[in-house]
Homo-oligomer: A and B are copies of this chain.
Amino acid sequence: MELQKAIDIYNEKKKLSLAMNHALGVLSYDNETAAPKNSYMGLANTFGVISEMEYKSKVNAEYFDVVDTLIANKEQLDPILKREAEEEEHSLKVMRSIPMEEYVEFTEMLSKAHTAWVEAKNESDFSKASPFLEKIVAYSKRVASLVSPGMDPYDFWLNEYEKGLSTAVLDAFFKRIREALVPIIKRISEKGELFRTDFMNEKCPIELQRKLSDYIMEVMHINRDDCSIGETEHPFTTHFNKHDVRITTHYHEDSVVSNMYSVIHEGGHALYELNTGDELIGSTIASGTSMSIHESQSRFFENIIGRSEEFCELIFPKIKELFPVQFDGVTARDFYLAVNKAEPSLIRTEADELTYSLHIMIRYELEKKMMRGEIEVKDVPKEWNRLYKEYLGVDVPDDRNGVLQDMHWFGGMLGYFPSYALGSAYGAQMLHHMKKELDFSSLVRENRLDVIIGWLTERIYKYGMLLGPNEIIMNTCGEPFDPDYYVNYLTEKMTDIYGL
């Protein structure tokens, strides 16, 4: 095929594909936020039609020829189209290998799986969601076996979420983390209660918590005309373009910090999407480059900034203004210590910075076993509970607070969780290098997060998917990934707080 013809056909298909992804994205967002419960009944059909259309549009000899032509001539393409073509080749590799009926059926099933998970979680009944998880595991294994026969299916999916990632890398990473952090966790637990946390579960009216969210968005320089806050069971971020980003949070009357750190975490994701380059608008690569880099940003804001003493000092006056009775007699230092209390617990999203990675490690172990057929789905809750006891020393009272707490698996994402731990480690390394150029402490204390966001935009955000994760690490750190920064960061912080 002539190159120009290939470009024209590609652009035409891209327009359709972007529109369909936009529609699917809003349908999903709506389903998780505003839709009445029974909305799922009509949704499956629409999801099915759209994914069938997408499939038919792309999985055919002509379009394979289009993409092959682009790839064969990729050095002649402008950088954006070149990266688009590479991504398309990659995603087509998966689509090409799956028969259409399976692909469509799976897409339809996913929308039902989400509804089942919400119900299962509410009723703390794993059996209501497990048939869907079984299908998701089977489908994920099947895709892996079709696309890369002979490859470990879990390695296949890790590599899908983060190019170059494998169980070999992660086994080593988690070993390093575990060996460094478990002794610290132990020493902290021997110290007993060093500071007060009684104010952490004061009742704070949700209307006022919403005002706190608005304030946090302001501090994070997030333009609300481009980014809304919704409310869901499990907070998440989604985006349709850089002028339409949605974060969600949840409000619990008796935990003001739960909402606050959800907004900061999702706000970190949002900042990435809001600051991709204008020249990427309308392309397929106007988006964060990988899950781990994305999580490096959300967790950078949530923890490295959000749980720093400087940030606590910055925002504490607003907290006292909104909740004067609840925080009567509490100081910013008290607040800083309390939000950094390291204590093994049940819920990942509410875990402290230190024990967080162990939550991920448990999910990693389970995903690996499910994908390798070393455990049946029905036995996952039992193994989950066993691992929580072994690594964190906590007893899981029910599935709601155990295996059903996260939506990821029931949304078809097996291999995503490790990116949270990796992202945390990336963030610590970025901080180290950022501090060589910026007076991080003063900037946070003086409400100048815009300077930090500017630094990150120049090195990460503006590129969207133009650069891959390893290039982003080089761009920000000038060296390859090294987990020691993360270990050092946590050790220093915990030493300060607990006087280890």
Contact = CB atoms under 8 A, between A and B. Distances in A.
Contacts of A33: 34
Given A49-B15, A243-B41, A244-B39, A26 B30 contact: yes
Nearest to A31: B26
Contact of A39 (B39, B207, B243): B243
Query: DSSP class of A's interface residues: helix, strand, loop or mixed?
Result: helix
Interface of A: 15-16, 18-19, 22-23, 26-27, 29-30, 33-39, 41-43, 45-46, 48-50, 53, 207, 224-228, 230, 240-241, 243-246, 282
Given A22-B42, A27-B23, A41-B243, A228 B49 contact: no
B16 A49 contact: yes
Q: Which of A30, A35, A240, A246 has the most CB of B within 10 A?
A: A30
Given A36-B226, A39-B240, A41-B244, A46 B30 contact: no
Contacts of A35: 228, 244, 246
6 closest A-B pairs by CB: A19-B49, A38-B243, A23-B23, A42-B241, A37-B225, A39-B244
Nearest to A207: B207
A29 B19 CA distance: 17
Contacts of A46: 18-19, 22-23
Contacts of A23: 23, 26-27, 46, 50
A370 B117 CA distance: 53
B36 A224 contact: yes
B226 A38 contact: yes
A50 B244 contact: no
A50 B24 CA distance: 12
Contacts of A45: 15, 18-19, 282
B207 A36 contact: no
Contact of A36 (B41, B53, B246): B246
B228 A42 contact: no
A9 to B, nearest CB: 16
Contact of A225 (B15, B29, B30, B36): B36
B16 A243 contact: no
Contacts of A42: 22, 240-241, 243-244
Contacts of A38: 225-226, 243-244
A269 to B, nearest CB: 15
A46 to B, nearest CB: 4
A50 B34 CA distance: 23
A181 to B, nearest CB: 39
Nearest to A41: B243
A68 to B, nearest CB: 25
A243 B50 CA distance: 20
Q: Which of A23, A224, A228 has the most CB of B within 10 A?
A: A23
Nearest to A224: B36
A246 B490 CA distance: 48
Contacts of A16: 49, 53
A114 to B, nearest CB: 15
A91 to B, nearest CB: 19
Contact of A27 (B26, B228, B245): B26
Contacts of A226: 36-38
A39 B228 CA distance: 10
A224 B50 CA distance: 27
Contacts of A224: 36-37
27 contacts: A15-B45, A16-B53, A18-B49, A19-B46, A19-B50, A22-B27, A26-B30, A29-B30, A33-B34, A34-B34, A34-B230, A35-B228, A35-B244, A35-B246, A36-B224, A36-B225, A36-B227, A36-B228, A38-B225, A38-B226, A38-B244, A39-B240, A39-B244, A41-B241, A41-B243, A42-B240, A43-B244
A223 to B, nearest CB: 8
A26 to B, nearest CB: 5
A15 B52 CA distance: 11
Contacts of A243: 36, 38-39, 41-42
A111 to B, nearest CB: 12
A480 to B, nearest CB: 36
Given A19-B46, A41-B241, A49-B15, A34 B27 contact: no
A487 to B, nearest CB: 39
Contacts of A225: 36-38
A58 to B, nearest CB: 15
Nearest to A49: B19
A228 B33 CA distance: 11
A447 to B, nearest CB: 23
